[in-house]
Structure 1
Amino acid sequence: MAQPHAVEVLLRPAVELHTVAVCTGAAILCLVAPWSLALNPLLGLGSALAFLTFGAIRLRDAWAILRYRRNIRRLPRYVMTSRDVPVSQQRLFVGRGFRWEQRHTHRLMQTYRPEFRRYVEPTAIYRAARRLEERLEFAPFPVSTLARALAWDSPLNPARPLPPVGGLPRLHGIEPHEVDVTLPLGERVGHTLVLGTTRVGKTRLAELFITQDIRRKVRGEHEVVIVFDPKGDADLLKRMYVEAKRAGREGEFYVFHLGWPDISARYNAVGRFGRISEVATRIAGQLSGEGNSAAFREFAWRFVNIIARALVELGQRPDYLLIQRHVINIDALFIEYAQHYFAKNEPKAWEVIVQLEAKLNDKNIPRNMIGREKRVVALEQYLSQVRIYDPVLDGLRSAVRYDRTYFDKIVASLLPLLEKLTTGKIAQLLAPNYSDLSDPRPIFDWMQVIRKRAVVYVGLDALSDAEVAAAVGNSMFSDLVSVAGHIYKFGIDDGLPGAAAGAKIPINVHADEFNELMGDEFIPMVNKGGGAGVQVTAYTQTLSDIEARIGNRAKAGQVVGNFNNLFMLRVRETATAELLTRQLPKVEVYATALMSGATDSSDPQGNTAFTSNTQDRISSNSVPLIEPAHVVALPKGQCFALIEGGNLWKVRMPLPAPDPDEAMPKDLQELAGYMRQHYVEAGDWWENQGIPDLQDKALPEDLLDDFKQMAAAEEAET
């Protein structure tokens, strides 16, 4: 029977079918020939109904056994179009599954016992069909049709092949009664970590979450959606645009892509700040702070801060190009700021400075000022004679007083970073010209995005240049942390008419391969960003990726410890799997043992020669709820989810039904096509493959012309 007992055994023959057959025969007999059972027609009808009722109960029990055995080998297909993804104002849909309990561990342990092997392993017909299919792969036409017939994916095919998802179907098949698995939206502010190796469904899960975030409306307003995609997944970009258009938000959709600056939106990572010192922190924070490098990072921070303060006083918005220009030649900024300061405070000072400059020659210039412009030397001499206190002017003065060679050495670590962010067309994206009204590419910042409830796709083109991708990603994260701090203190509408103090909205940040983008600034985002409404969903392969990026085991543990929700897909690293399994309790599983024996009688005169006995024993063992080996054996598109305070769920995500690209604009279609051709798996994306060859005819002709012009310009510069 299928009812639960102390020891549940569902891997067995469906013996209830024998009872069903007997009840069916008895019911027919009672209806057709009640006289054979000494019944009149009315009693025969009643007896037939009784037999059919009992047979139906036994058929239900048999069906439970048969369905369980089928699910152990093959799960029913689960497909859903994006239009059918449920969007709730209270919960986040994840997929279908069940809450993992002790009975599921018990059932899983039974599948490994040798007596149940025939119910778990593929049938003999299936194995023979696969062998025959391999042999007929290169067979001529009349015979090759047999191979195609064997590979026919239909329920009518008795040797139907399994879906190409790998893993063990039994991990999900042990529970035939699935329910929709959802995560309360209130839990998302505790952040979510998704772990899984390459090509096992992380991006599909991201699409599922992002689809709901784009379409969700809470109290009549949409939510902010920001997606960081280092590799460049065309399907993810397409899904975001299609869903934004479906939700009526295509006017709020921004695409920032380093690989396609001509159609990308523009962004200034240091143009908006609450405190001027944030500019230096965002830039110098990306420099190494280990060992002897710490001192150079502090020097770099100081000089960037001096430059940023001077630019703001001059009424200029800081950007990477301006900072790079003045780091290379700080003399020009010193002179420009001095002119600005003296014009307001001491208009007659320039007369004295010009006289001092006229008296300078190579012999009377101080040694530490050799190589500086004479006007800079004259300014320094004038400031040393008068008492003027201006913090910006004093900072610039201290910078120019350094020996020029020494100054170049102490900012040497800063210049490579600025070169990464200001080379080629990337400079147009990261240092936009706000006064150029003829440029149609929009300019955005995070506060503007949040206030507009916009949808932002950030493609970092890490395949072409991983160094620049990491630098830009770090800058964006750092800027976002600063904006989160401002929202935490003042709300999103600070400074606007009718602003509500402390108003916050959900800010959904999805960071794929986030270990390659994160730095020290990521820790406060996951630690304190929830107070500003930031809800981070981070995707990566292993824990080692995080530790390798940060370079500190304690900090890596600090990052992981701030994620309250964990989705564990198939992983290849045992330590990563143990992040889940070590948080789970042990449970008792039961096992039966058949024991029999015989005892000879020692009395030759007795009537009994021997005695025998047979016993059924039930024993219990303490085992982990799940083992790391089970996580390693997960099929694609399935995961273990530790949500809502440590509740373990086994989930499978719906397979996507593809949508055409016609809903996208032409430029985004071209971008998506390029991304599909040059997309690499996460395990290899950091290997620099370079820009595709100019003769690649898969690209449109207009884009090929752009590439040729870029190449010609670079050759001319060389």
Structure 2
Amino acid sequence: MTPARIFNAFRPVHEARAAAAWCLAACHAVALALLVGVDGRVCLAIAAGAAAMAFWRGAQARSLWRFKLGLAGSRVVRLPCDRFDRVRRSLDGRLWLGWGFRWQPEHTQLCHDLLKRSLHEVYPPRWVLRLHGRHDDPHEAKGLGWVQGLAPERDVVVPMAALEGHTAVLAVTGALKTVLARLLVYQLASRGDAVFVLDPKGDKGLEQVCRDVAARLGDPSRFARFHAAFPSRSFRFDALANWDRETQVASRIRLLMGGQPDDPFNAFVWATVTDVVRAMKRLGRRVTLQSLLDTVRSQDAAEALAEEVLQAWFGQADVAAAASPARRPPSARGGPFNNPRLVHWAHRFRTEVPPHERPPDITSLLAALEADRGWFAKMVVGLTPVLMRLTAGDLGPLLSPDHTDLADPRPVHTTRQLVEGRRVVYFGLDALSDTSVAEGLAALFLSDLAATAGDLYNHGPADGVAPRRVHVLCDEWGDLVCEPVVQLANKGRGAGIVLYLFGQTVSDLVVKLGDEARARRVLGNMNNVIVGATSDSDTLDFVTRKLGETVVRRVTVSQGAGQKTEDAGLEYAATRQASVTEQALALVPPQVLAGLPDLHYVAIVNRAQVFKGRIPVLDLAAPSPAP
């Protein structure tokens, strides 16, 4: 068995003394040849050998000193976009995530060696730092600055194919997420892809990032803004424009209500909305949140819709007879319908049309309306408040736009238009002011995106439109994650939709989804995880389990001394023994994850590759226009 090799990186730099001694030996050999007259060839050989040894030992000393200086940490870097563009063009479609190194078991070993030492032993003396132009004190830095110095830095470049497996970003507030979003949005948009940023709290920094990216790429019109708190400066969003089957609208509305799909109330709402959408489609009306609310708000409105459907189906015949109470069929008087005209049309529908010729959608709508009025009101009681939240005040014309209103200058967009237009879209949900509305907006946007993803997956993009990836960045997953997110995580890859979920703790996700199993269902679809500084114990457990374990060598030193008196006199004995043992520990210690400095991260890419990196603050200042 090969003996374990023990490397102590925190000892004095003995190699520097050895290099100095070999330099003196080379000088001494030259002096002998010049001053004493010793054979020059012999002295030259000695001097050459000594110089080679001095160079070798000097390189060892330089490497160790560089390692010690690297432990002092690194300062935050502001990267001009002009400089980054020169590098980005050579990435060949890959994504740049700053500077760092591939984490290996030897870095775990160094971490444990460092964690058991005082910072005074780890960081170089202050005079050495000043000699190298460092005037900051690493002892007062935020986090464990020595983590990035465990290995030489290089560019961290990730293939786009790896990110198609979706990415989770975990970090405490102010540690990483906004700056990383800036770096991601710029690179993704510059590829010609559509980028959606969903921000529940209305972070002005994220909105400015999207605006600056579009301006930087030379097309400010690519930026689109939706903000619930500023409707006059938002585009109008046709939330129910993308669907192929009526059941898709009903499923989307059911998602807004939450709860389980097999709940009787949800099942009835799903069926009712399906019937209403079928009726509107038959009449050629646009389905919007406002039109749905107007129809299901009362049974009288639903009966008026059914009357129009029957009248249109019969071809506008006998309208006057339907309006006359005297013409009401005796069997229908006192029946479930309050509308006398609907009674007439329903009677004709059932008496004049053979059962096999009756359209199923009209039959289903009439069956739902024939229920007891009080029962109907109780069953849809959960739907009305949901629709009211999304149609109240300024949100009504914002989410249910009137395409014929030429007086409204705000543009109307659908998700498909935004995707095919390669837009950089910012959605501000204003969760701080109205949490319930923000949750409804998030579910609405994401469910519409899921429907668009399904349409792109089934039919592909429109003619003449090149297929593009769609990147969705969701900030604060504790406010945004819902069933549409799970659908996108499971099935969005085939449609080119890539998710980036930003959060602070795993616990936020568990609370949002209601149980740990559903939270793990979302996390299980995240093939990539980027972790900044975090102190939550559950989050640390999740990350360390995902990172796995490695073997760490521990050195145990034992020593003893004793004395005894024999006939020969006083005897003294001393022993010293060192043993090496191996122990399986986390690949990245939890203390390191909790102590990462700002803008530093540990990333798991493609389920197996682990990187330690840091990112710069990308300066997106747009170039000056040409004169």
> TM-score, structure 1 length as denominator?
0.78
Q: Is the 8 A contact 1:513 1:539 kept in 2?
A: yes
Could you say if the C-alpha distance between residues 318 and 595 of structure 1 is closer, same or farther in structure 2, counting changes exceeding 3 Å?
same
Amino acid of the structure 1 residue aligned with 2:93: Q
Determine the structure 2 residue equivalent to 1:684: none
Q: Secondary structure at the match of 1:262?
A: helix
Q: Is the 8 A contact 1:513 1:540 kept in 2?
A: yes
Whole-angstrom CA distance in 1 between matches of 2:78 and 2:32: 50
Task: Give the CA deviation at 1:5.
Answer: 8.4
Determine the structure 2 residue equivalent to 1:448: 417
Which stretch of structure 1 is more off in the superposition, 415-424 or 228-237?
228-237
| Structure 2 residue corresponding to 1:529, chosen from 470, 492, 502 | 492
Amino acid of the structure 1 residue aligned with 2:612: K
Determine the structure 2 residue equivalent to 1:637: 599
Q: Is the 8 A contact 1:504 1:532 kept in 2?
A: no
Q: Is the 8 A contact 2:178 2:205 kept in 1?
A: no
Task: Give the CA deviation at 1:59.
Answer: 2.7
Q: Is the 8 A contact 2:486 2:522 kept in 1?
A: yes
Task: Give the CA deviation at 1:352.
Answer: 2.8
The C-alpha deviation readout for 1:273-314, integer Å capped at 9, x for no partner, is 1111111111122213259x9222222222222221111111
Amino acid of the structure 2 residue aligned with 1:630: V
Which stretch of structure 1 is more off in the superposition, 334-343 or 92-101?
334-343
Which stretch of structure 1 is more off in the superposition, 257-266 or 17-26?
17-26
Q: Is the 8 A contact 1:74 1:169 kept in 2?
A: yes
Residue 274 (1) aligns with residue 230 (2): no
Determine the structure 1 residue equivalent to 2:334: 366
Q: Secondary structure at the match of 2:436?
A: helix
Determine the structure 1 residue equivalent to 2:95: 92
Residue 109 (1) aligns with residue 95 (2): no
Q: Is the 8 A contact 1:232 1:459 kept in 2?
A: yes
Determine the structure 2 residue equivalent to 1:579: 542
Whole-angstrom CA distance in 1 between matches of 2:312 and 2:550: 80
Determine the structure 2 residue equivalent to 1:546: 509
Whole-angstrom CA distance in 1 between matches of 2:141 and 2:250: 48
Residue 186 (1) aligns with residue 161 (2): yes
Task: Give the CA deviation at 1:104.
Answer: 0.9
Determine the structure 2 residue equivalent to 1:234: 204
Task: Give the CA deviation at 1:459.
Answer: 1.4
Amino acid of the structure 2 residue aligned with 1:118: H
Q: Secondary structure at the match of 1:182?
A: strand
Task: Give the CA deviation at 1:66.
Answer: 2.1
Could you say if the C-alpha distance between residues 644 and 155 of structure 1 is closer, same or farther in structure 2, counting changes exceeding 3 Å?
farther
Structure 2 spans left out of the alignment, 5+ residues: none
Whole-angstrom CA distance in 2 between matches of 1:478 and 1:104: 43
Describe how 1:486-497 pairs up with structure 2 within 5 A.
Answer: 486-493=455-462, 496=463
Could you say if the C-alpha distance between residues 40 and 78 of structure 1 is closer, same or farther in structure 2, counting changes exceeding 3 Å?
farther
Q: Is the 8 A contact 1:165 1:636 kept in 2?
A: no
Amino acid of the structure 2 residue aligned with 1:650: K
Describe how 1:153-552 pairs up with structure 2 within 5 A.
Answer: 160-162=136-138, 166-175=142-151, 177-216=152-191, 222-289=192-259, 294-332=263-301, 334-336=303-305, 338-339=307-308, 341-343=310-312, 345-356=314-325, 366=334, 368-369=336-337, 372-380=338-346, 383=349, 385-387=351-353, 389-493=358-462, 496=463, 504-552=467-515
Whole-angstrom CA distance in 2 between matches of 1:156 and 1:68: 13
Amino acid of the structure 1 residue aligned with 2:582: S
Could you say if the C-alpha distance between residues 591 and 462 of structure 1 is closer, same or farther in structure 2, counting changes exceeding 3 Å?
same
Could you say if the C-alpha distance between residues 655 and 422 of structure 1 is closer, same or farther in structure 2, counting changes exceeding 3 Å?
same
Between the two proteins, what is the percent identity of the paired residues? 27
Determine the structure 2 residue equivalent to 1:650: 612
Which stretch of structure 1 is more off in the superposition, 591-600 or 244-253?
591-600
Amino acid of the structure 2 residue aligned with 1:441: R
Whole-angstrom CA distance in 2 between matches of 1:165 and 1:374: 79
Task: Give the CA deviation at 1:43.
Answer: 7.7
Amino acid of the structure 2 residue aligned with 1:485: G
Q: Secondary structure at the match of 1:57?
A: helix
Determine the structure 2 residue equivalent to 1:589: 552
Determine the structure 1 residue equivalent to 2:120: 118
Whole-angstrom CA distance in 2 between matches of 1:57 and 1:357: 113
Task: Give the CA deviation at 1:467.
Answer: 1.3
Task: Give the CA deviation at 1:336.
Answer: 4.9
Q: Is the 8 A contact 2:109 2:553 kept in 1?
A: yes
Determine the structure 2 residue equivalent to 1:556: 519
Could you say if the C-alpha distance between residues 659 and 50 of structure 1 is closer, same or farther in structure 2, counting changes exceeding 3 Å?
farther
Amino acid of the structure 2 residue aligned with 1:269: A
Whole-angstrom CA distance in 2 between matches of 1:169 and 1:526: 35
> TM-score, structure 2 length as denominator?
0.88
Task: Give the CA deviation at 1:443.
Answer: 1.3
Task: Give the CA deviation at 1:8.
Answer: 0.9
Q: Is the 8 A contact 1:592 1:618 kept in 2?
A: yes
Amino acid of the structure 2 residue aligned with 1:626: V
Could you say if the C-alpha distance between residues 506 and 604 of structure 1 is closer, same or farther in structure 2, counting changes exceeding 3 Å?
same
Could you say if the C-alpha distance between residues 612 and 343 of structure 1 is closer, same or farther in structure 2, counting changes exceeding 3 Å?
closer
Structure 1 spans left out of the alignment, 5+ residues: 127-152, 217-221, 664-718
Determine the structure 2 residue equivalent to 1:6: 5
Task: Give the CA deviation at 1:584.
Answer: 3.6
Task: Give the CA deviation at 1:367.
Answer: 6.7
Task: Give the CA deviation at 1:390.
Answer: 3.3
Q: Secondary structure at the match of 2:567?
A: coil
Task: Give the CA deviation at 1:201.
Answer: 0.7
Which stretch of structure 1 is more off in the superposition, 596-605 or 249-258?
596-605
Amino acid of the structure 1 residue aligned with 2:181: A
Task: Give the CA deviation at 1:481.
Answer: 0.8
The C-alpha deviation readout for 1:614-670, integer Å capped at 9, x for no partner, is 44444433332223232222222111111123122111112344748999xxxxxxx
Amino acid of the structure 2 residue aligned with 1:166: K
Q: Is the 8 A contact 1:183 1:644 kept in 2?
A: no
Task: Give the CA deviation at 1:610.
Answer: 4.7
Amino acid of the structure 1 residue aligned with 2:110: R
Task: Give the CA deviation at 1:524.
Answer: 1.8
Determine the structure 1 residue equivalent to 2:528: 565
Task: Give the CA deviation at 1:333.
Answer: 5.1
Q: Is the 8 A contact 1:286 1:519 kept in 2?
A: no
Task: Give the CA deviation at 1:355.
Answer: 2.7
Task: Give the CA deviation at 1:10.
Answer: 0.9
Determine the structure 1 residue equivalent to 2:70: 71
Task: Give the CA deviation at 1:613.
Answer: 4.6
Q: Is the 8 A contact 2:260 2:266 kept in 1?
A: no
Q: Is the 8 A contact 1:230 1:460 kept in 2?
A: yes
Give the superposed CA RMSD: 3.4
Task: Give the CA deviation at 1:453.
Answer: 2.1
In the comparison of the two structures, how many residue pairs are matched?
A: 616
